[in-house]
Amino acid sequence: MATTTSHGAESAYDYVVVGGGTAGCVLAARLSEDPECRVCVVEGGPSDVGDDRILRLRNWINLLGSEFDYGYTTVEQPRGNSHILHSRARVLGGCSSHNTAISFMPLPQDLDDWVARGCTGWDPATILPYRERLLTPIVPVAEADRNPVAKDFVTAASRALGVPVVEDFNAEPFAEGAGFFSLAYDPRSNLRHSSSVCYLHPVMDRPNLTLMLETWAHRLLPDASGRLTRVAVRGADGRPAVVRAERELLLCAGAIDTPRLLLLSGIGPADDLRALGIEVRADLPGVGENLLDHPESVILWETRGPLPPNSAMDSDAGLFVRRDTSRPRPDVMFHFYQVPFTVNTERLGYPVPEHGVCMTPNVPRARSVGRMWLRSADPDEHPALDFRYFTDPEGHDERTVVEGLRIAREVAATEPLSGWLVREVAPGPDVTSDADLSEYGRRVAHTVYHPAGTCRMGAPDDPMAVCDPRLRLRGVEGVRIVDASVFPAMPTVNPVVTVLLVAERAADLLTGRPGPAEGPGR
């Protein structure tokens, strides 16, 4: 039933899901399994249905900076690269419709880290069995997509470093290894198995499921009892409206837009909000803090000529190294790009080879922690993002990149990969000292688009926790958060599957259904 308010027409549902991204699609599908439960999804972007630009996995790189990208930037990074475009997807399926589909189960110790930070109920024994609930098929890169140069990278990495060749990174927890990634894709068609494709596309005709596409949510509003169950939105035509949740409002807008929405609604650090003229509804100092990422640098080689064309998405293989053998998880990761990734090296004056490959030393559990905040009370103004790259006091992140560049050179000097390479283009073989490698590595550093942590969950006595371990927003009735912003710590690996697991767990918390480790499955 629709009514009219000062904010426009108002419609009501049982659950309103703000953000039709990776987590939002899961929640929409699971909650609407009950035909009596009315679910509405508010998504700022268009549908992905039938759009090969989105659905064809190998086209991912052309989505960056496109009409499907919100394109956030950072404030000045004194010890990092200040020119990074932090792509956030503007399309149904969110970043699962925008990414390379590299899909890892979180390592058990990653979830142990969450429990140690007060997140009861997020232990490996509870969360990892949700793998059986996932509707997204995940498979190792198919043989037909295994480019010869990527195969030779895997062989060379294993030979040079003594790490095992891993056939399936999701078969069991691993400490190190080289191999082809597992992807959420269909090898026959190169179409992605995004959250929208696997969870929403099959059920879009459910009469109890409403999708409000190209609709921007910009403020949460109270109902008559003071619960925050209403969200002010603006449609593609600019017309205002209000959507009300009679049970709960579920924020799934991601690690940038979920805290942004909370701050615009008066939920966050009270002094910061007052300074912008925003009425304080709840003083939650952790909103926007704990901004996490997986920073990575790049080292580039020219190849002897064009490479064979076959690939799933041009970064199909990778390497994990455990420098600290006393610990069970890898502490350096590498993507191997079968194309010359020169966005950041070209800015520093390095030449662009016509044909080339890259390795990208990545910091799996970076110790530098940033924050985000509003620049103004205007919902249309992008927030300020400060990842504080390479600022951890002990220099762990910087040291990881320097050692990663050295490890990459070891692999490149080893057959059979070395036979493909003509020369190191960036930083070049003359850059050898720790100081020079650090300077280069930090200036060309990039992101793999994994922001997280800005509404982290935690124990009741944690003053910086934004939500509790049941994902309920602290100090506010009627709201839960379900996306990567709730991560208290960054998983070692690419986080998209962890987001899927969080969403599946959230569906059970909302419906009361037992989890797969707690009782009968569906």
Active site residues: 450
Residues 31 and 187: their CA atoms lie apart, in Å, by: 30
Report the Cα 129 to chain-centroid distance in Å. 21
Cβ atoms 218, 238 nearer than 8 A: no
Smallest CA-to-CA distance from 443 within 57, 118, 79 is with 79
Give the separation between CA 359 and CA 310, rounded to whole angstroms.
Answer: 18
Identify the three-state secondary structure at position 55.
Answer: helix
Q: For residue 110, is it left (φ>0), alpha (ψ between -120 and 50) or beta?
A: alpha
Beta strands 209-212 and 39-42, pairing class = parallel
Q: For residue 172, how many other CB atoms are within 10 A of its CB?
A: 8
Of residues 339, 340, 317, 353, the one with CA closest to residue 145: 317
As separate numbers, helices (DSSP H) first and strands (DSSP E) second, the chain gives 11, 24
CB neighbour list of residue 283: distance below 8 Å, 6 or more residues apart: 268, 269, 270, 475
Q: What is the DSSP string of 400-454?
A: HHHHHHHHHHHHHTSTTGGGGEEEEEES-TT--SHHHHHHHHHHT-EE-S--B-T
| Cα(109)–Cα(88) distance, integer angstroms | 28
* Tokens 């060309």, located at residue: 444
Q: How many angstroms separate the CA atoms of 294 and 296, rounded?
A: 7
| Cα–Cα–Cα angle for 205, 191, 149, rounded to 5 degrees | 165
Q: Tokens at residue 332, please?
A: 């350096």
